[in-house]
A and B are shown apart, each in its own frame.
Chain A
Amino acid sequence: GVSIPAATHGWAGGMNYFAQTTVDRLEETYPQLDFVLATASDPARQVNDIEDMMATRGIDALVVLPFESEPLTGPVMAVSDAGVWVTVVDRGLAVEGIEDLYVAGNNPDFGRVSGEYMVSAMPEGGQIVVLRGIPTTIDNERVEGFQAAIEGSGIEIIGMEHGNWNRDTSFTVMQDFLSRHPQIDAVWASDDDMAVGVLAAIEAAGRSDIQFVLGGAGMKEMIQRVMEGDTMIPADVTYPPSMIATAIELTAVGLVSSAPVSGEFIIGSVLVTQDNAENFYYPDSPF
């Protein structure tokens, strides 16, 4: 069983894509395995999905990317208690030791890497605006990591609003930031979808004071621009949606063989620059 949030924004969409393709591929490779993929649009529905997998599909292993940590902890614990293999992806549960396998990105690290890049790109400081995601723990961790990293560097956050990981919202927010602040040195868009909106707003306003926009998550168009040396997009920070594929694959391997796959796989966030961008470019992914 694979339970993941629905594709409501770009990153989740990419994650959905990787999950789907991995399931398709593994179904061919391991005919003895049967996969159930369910996507949920909120935590309660995700719990429903997991309950259904247990009650009606008799799953042997569960790969779950919790919509939110807290609400899923109890139900996933129940699954684990029933003797089913549990792989948790990306967002850890509120109680340790439930999962057999943990594959995750690192949100504070994502913020930290982004912040550190900001500091290195603007050694003498500057004024930046920040677009945040949908209000969630993930977003909080990233922003905290970022703020910690730029502390004392002379970089000042002069505006911070939620762009909800949405292109349109970020476009609007950025337009208003541009009206409000005559001088913005850089933008931390914290996500590539939001970066798309931000770039469009800047371009439309014809402003030249903004030196660059830093997104995140590794969308293929953005990586491509990094690769091409676009000065507005000098870098990107990964938070690969493909981690779900890793998790599913590892779980499948764990089921069909006796290979020891339990433990933790933390996929740290990597700074992508023109030098290494090629390694992060997946032209077939929808993200």
Chain B
Amino acid sequence: MGGAVTQPVLALNGVSRSFGPIEVLHGVDIALHPGRVHALIGENGAGKSTTMKIMAGYQPASSGTIAVDGQTRTLASMGEAEALGISMIHQEFNLAEQLSVEQNIFLGRELKRGWLLDKAAMRAKTRELLDRLQCDVSPDRIVSTLSNSDKQMVEIAKALLRDIRVLIMDEPTAVLTRTETDILLGQVRRLRAEGVAVLFTSHKLDEVAEIADDLTIMRDGAVVWTGPTAQMNEHQMAEAMVGREVSDLYPPKDGTPGEMMLEVSDFGVPGYSEGISFTLRRGEILGVAGLIGSGRTETFEGLAGLRRAEGQVRIKGQPVTIRHPWEALQHGLAYLTEDRKTRGLLLDKGMGENLTLLALWKFTRGLLDKRAEAAALETAIADFDIRGSQAVAVGQLSGGNQQKLLFAKTMLADPEIVVIDEPTRGIDIGTKQQMYQFIRQLAASGRAIVVISSEMQEVIGLADRILVLRRGQLTGTLDGAEATEDAIVRLAMGVGAATPEKETV
């Protein structure tokens, strides 16, 4: 690939950034070269997103300089950065939910014929961009009805529309499946060939190893390593990020199944799934695999009373009907959503208020016991290693730390049956390991656990048994031993058939 001797198209020199009294970036140096892909990795809260926002002009640096084409500049606004050809895809979705796909992609740069919009041209262009990403949603779909991965594709299409020299992507693959990731990486290669400088972050180190030419590793707001990716293997990357040895990611499956906790038969959520039966015992971790759109989320949301569902459910042998989420909780069943931003956390509230929302009754002794709440927060921060200032709204926390907080919030309610949907989305590898251990401990302490995950490795590594869903139907149950990626994929896609990986819904 192109030599690193070219002048960097965009560089940060000694950039620091403070929020109030807290400095989160300490003298960061990073340089992007045209025609090269640069990966930025680090733990949750290391300052990756902040660095990227400064590079894209969304936030000012507190000190230090930004150089574009070797010239020091102040990027006063993202408009200015955009004019220089710098475009960014945010970690959190940055789409107007009530607008259509096409309206979002062209927002702020609508094509016009005279005064009026040239809708035909915009729709055609949208189609073309989405086709390039092999995404088949209609340009007229309202964004709020899209799946997370489709939203991500729309974000990418939006960035591709711009005339870019620098593309900055903050965890673009967190919500994508492997196939979609491959499509994205294909686009990245194409851009690289066109001479675009690409900066991206990911907690999936295999992707980093696969595509990045250059690598920068951050820890606690400072750069700890930078150089060509080829000099590092995945293991070394993980170590440099976390600052310690990361050995076995998954804890041993040493649980002994106990009493029957959950029996589900002929269960389904109309329109999404039907005829699903399974059982779950204390101490067991049940993995649920399937392609995005296979109805896993909806099925378990149905189980948790968040959607209308049909079928028989028994908890500890007793038949129950759960029509509302609080009824689920009364039966000891909690569901941890995959969508932390719009369903998981109150982004404009503090950590404390979010943490205790689900389990508020535990803190009610007539009135709320605020001291107990504060103590619970301290415990949660320690247990889950949540990093970030307690004074700010949780919307300002780094994505991974939000996920940890969501985890802590659900666990605070002491559920006996926990359904965890995409537990490690956007979580760094060190914390992942902690989380897996934590989930195993929960099982060992007699909880029954369901883990829904799109990461095949995670399901295989963590679960005692695996359910595979396809188009809302249960296509198979695999035991820990026989679970291989291949077996899951076969079930998930319909054996041997060359079905596209993404289900059309």
Check A-B contact in the complex, CB < 8 A.
no
Which A residues are within 8 Å of any B CB, using their own CB? none
Which B residues are within 8 Å of any A CB, using their own CB? none
